[in-house]
Structure 1
Amino acid sequence: MRLIGVGVGPGDPELVTLKAVRVLATAGRVFVPVLDAAEVGRAEATVRAHAAHARIERLVFALNERSDTARRERYWDAAGSRVAQWLRETGGTAAFATIGDPNVYSTFGYLAQTVRDLLPHVAVETVPGITAMQAMAAASGTPLVEGTEPLMLLPLARGVSPLREAVAGDGTVVVYKGGRHLPEIGAIAAEAGRDGLYGEHLGLPDERVGRLSDMDASGPYLATVLLPARRERRGGKL
């Protein structure tokens, strides 16, 4: 029995690694996270380019729940029980597709822990995927880091206060899950003398990338903000 978390990147089927494609094509079942069982989520839309639709199964998660811990955990338990049931009945290999990377702010970690509790002998693996910050750097033509620059990744679903300290440094700062705080993020960046880049729907046909200072409204939950380190000359950070 194996459970493999597969990173499928930001949404573009061409940004899925060869290893991920192989696992998606050969796994007995490919589970995908959704908010609504009747809708195709971003992970599933990507998987459909690489796996037979008949082997795809949706698992409902409270992906946008921020306060009701009990509700969130009920969905984790239900999803984990379903995956464990399939593994127990078949003894096969199940894949769980997640946008981005399965080890970076991913639902897969909670699912894997739940399945391990139910099936202690299950083998759990992950296949890394391209993250939103990498897709953002590519789409904007901006190096994430150079030389000795540090890189800080901040999730701001609960507020922008951690950003003030982060932008005071000289490294690159990437903001995830901050779409609804976009005006505040822009203001903090401006106070620190920085202008960054904003991206939404990365890797999708309606991808949008532009200057942070040009954005005057909130964005989607999965929006990405990239605040590059200050660079005065080529190789200056070596």
Structure 2
Amino acid sequence: MNSTGSEPRLVGVGVGPGDPELVTVKGVNALRAARVVVVPVMEDAGTGRAEATVLHYVPRSKVVRVVFALNEREDRSRREAAWDAAGERVAELLRAHGTVAFATIGDPNVYSTFTYLAQTVGELVPEAVVETVPGITAMQDLAARGGAVLTEGTEPLTLVPVTAGSAVLRKALEGPGTVVAYKFGRLAGEVAAALRATGRTEGAVWGSSLGLPEESIRPAAELEAEPAAGAGLPYLSTLIAPARRDRRGGKL
């Protein structure tokens, strides 16, 4: 039992892709109702995107920064050790404060660090209740800002993390419907090649830092022109390759 005498509750709150105006009312209420708001940060890094968004709605004194090895993709043991340490820290906060919110960019159930955290916390504090508050995803924001319709009629929508390999992306592009690619900044050259090989470059759009001052939204055709085939693009870049459409309502 914690000091408040209440049941420990961990709430994963999606705070959107970066624009503080895209946090839902329910998300803001959850952040404000929690005794502590945890934000994931990289080791030796400055204010992260989730943290910057949260600070529009709660005082800094309520925010606890917890290190995740978000930039560690090679050393699995180091990455998992960071997840374990973060889970132990959040478990301590739950025992002490009762209700803890964990802020994550996008949605807590879509490629989010929250899923790793919740698993660890569930083992350490089995009596804890785990909830999530959905957030607006990068693909939704890019579709709105870039004028790309995600789906019509019976079209499927495929979401691919390019970190899974360009072959996975290419297979998706060869299929029907709209394809969304996440985390492709360092593999932009391979993404451009897959678009070209499947005839999906036209109409495709990519974006990064959505809702932030450094926001960039451009046609996917410009990926070829990026220095070193996009080597300088942010890791969290997003691509939308819309379905091929030849007439209104053609997929109904």
Q: Which residue of 2 aligns with 1:50?
A: 57
Q: TM-score, normalised by structure 2?
A: 0.92
Q: Which residue of 1 aligns with 2:246?
A: 232
Q: Aligned runs of 1:1-238 on 2, under 5 Å?
A: 1-36=8-43, 39-90=46-97, 92-195=98-201, 196-215=204-223, 216-217=225-226, 218=230, 219-238=233-252
Q: Percent identity?
A: 58
Deviation, 1:131, is 0.3
Q: Are the counterparts in 2 of residues 37 and 59 from structure 1 also a CA contact under 8 Å? A: no
Q: What root-mean-square deviation, in Å, do the aligned CA atoms of Structure 1 and Structure 2 show?
A: 1.1
Distance 1:61 1:23 in 2: 22
Distance 1:163 1:181 in 2: 11
Q: Are the counterparts in 2 of residues 159 and 181 from structure 1 also a CA contact under 8 Å? A: no
Distance 1:148 1:82 in 2: 45
Deviation, 1:31, is 0.2
Deviation, 1:95, is 0.2
- The SS at the match of 2:163 is coil
Paired residue type of 1:131: T
Q: TM-score, normalised by structure 1?
A: 0.97
Q: Are the counterparts in 2 of residues 25 and 52 from structure 1 also a CA contact under 8 Å? A: no
Report the more deviating stretch, 184-193 or 22-31.
Answer: 184-193
Q: Are the counterparts in 2 of residues 11 and 42 from structure 1 also a CA contact under 8 Å? A: yes
Q: Are the counterparts in 1 of residues 148 and 240 from structure 2 also a CA contact under 8 Å? A: no
Q: Which 5+ residue runs of structure 2 have no aligned equivalent?
A: 1-7
Q: Which 5+ residue runs of structure 1 have no aligned equivalent?
A: none
Paired residue type of 1:4: V
Paired residue type of 1:175: A
Deviation, 1:143, is 1.0
Report the more deviating stretch, 5-14 or 169-178.
Answer: 169-178
Moved segments of 4+, more than 4 Å: none
